[in-house]
Amino acid sequence: MKSRLVISSAVRTALKNHEPIVALESTILTHGLPRPTNLEVAQRCEAAVKSSGSVPATIFLYKGKIHIGASEEELFELCQCDDAVKVSRRDFAKVLSGSGWGGTTIAGTVLAANLSGIDLMATGGLGGVHRGAEISFDISADLSELGRTPVAVVSSGVKKILDVQKTLEVLETQGVGTYTIGDSDAFPDFYMRDSGLKSHGGAISIEEAGKILAVNREVGISSGIVFANPVPKDSEGDGIFISGLIDEALLEAGRQNITGPASTPFILSKLAELSGGKTVEINVRLVENNCLVGGQIAKEFALQRN
């Protein structure tokens, strides 16, 4: 097993010294954001984690190995490649038995982080229950992965393109706690700070988040946690405008019969087009902020644990 894991020297040192580490996903780079914004986001996310005093570990697959921590050149190549596979739990064996690139989803990143001893990751939006899942059964593997792997995810909630209420229900069933960082217990829906629904665990501070994660690990609970970090107030989208665009993007996906793993990337790129880049701007701003807050939570977690 160990020979399949390639851990960068910065991450290896941090693991050895029990320093705070934040894992970062790579599907957002290979499938979620357009070029060249993806590379810019990759670099800004790593810088945001570093500015908090934690160590970033971007996770991806390449040439039969699971990479934990990317060099500048690797980030560049990953963001350029055309043929990366979107990798969740079921995809590891296939992609690792070949030689190509894999961009890990939140599910894939949580799995790989856990294999390498990292307890927290940061990203933009968690996958969830797709609208119409009662017919399509399309429920992101992010939810079941968090149900079986004890890694915390810092995200701006669940994207409004999904069914947020059903997603919270499945997280409950999977034993995954949801908390909102800050002074409101509203669960965010990515573009907006308040989806109209609440986090089950309510509003918590960064210190409390670190402690909750430490206790989850101490007790040996085998499921993960969602720390929802709302988009900063000055970057929040116009809810009515974005809802209209989402309806349009979903209709177009239906017309073109786009389903399964292709669904989220298609809707995201359609939204970017329809909003003239506005949704991408919000995405960039919130993911960078989540990496900063993720780094702060990782530090609190390290203090509690060490």
Binding mask 64-83 for ligand PSU (x = CB under 6 A): --------------------
Pick one of 21, 25, 211, 296: the residue that binds ligand PSU (CB under 6 A).
25
Q: Which of residues 99-138 bind ligand PSU (CB under 6 A)?
A: 105-107, 124-125, 127
Amino acid (1-letter code) at residue 256: Q
Active-site choice (46, 74, 159, 288)? 159
- Output the six-digit token pair for 93: 């064996």
230 belongs to the binding site for ligand PSU (CB under 6 A): no
| Residue 285 interacting with ligand PSU (CB under 6 A) | no
CA distance 38 to 80: 9
Quick check: 91 binds Mn ion (CB under 5 A)? no
Bridge partners, 56 (sequence order) = 22
- Identity of the residue, 8 or 123, whose beta carbon is nearer to ligand PSU in the bound complex: 123
Q: Quick check: 163 binds Mn ion (CB under 5 A)?
A: no
The minimum distance between CB 173 and ligand PSU, in angstroms, equals 17
Residue 159 designated active-site: yes
Residue nearest to ligand PSU (CB): 32
Binding at 159: pick from Mn ion, ligand PSU, none (beta carbon under 5-8 Å per type): ligand PSU
Q: Which is nearer to ligand PSU, 55 or 158 (CB)?
A: 158
By CB under 6 A, what part of segment 153-192 binds ligand PSU?
159
- The verdict on whether 77 is a catalytic residue reads no
Binding partner selected for residue 142 from ligand PSU, Mn ion, none, CB under the kind-specific 5 to 8 Å limit: ligand PSU
> Least distance to ligand PSU from the beta carbon of 124, Å?
5
* Out of 48, 55, 79, 141, the residue judged to bind ligand PSU by CB under 6 A: 141
**Contacted by 288, from ligand PSU, Mn ion, none: CB < 5 to 8 Å by type:** none
Q: Which long-range contacts (CB under 8 A, 24 or more apart) does 85-90 make?
A: 85/61, 86/27, 86/30, 86/31, 86/261, 86/265, 87/27, 87/61, 88/141, 88/142, 88/145, 89/141, 89/145, 90/141
Interacting residues toward Mn ion by CB under 5 A: 138
Interacting residues toward ligand PSU by CB under 6 A: 25, 27-28, 32, 105-107, 124-125, 127, 140-142, 159, 261, 264, 268
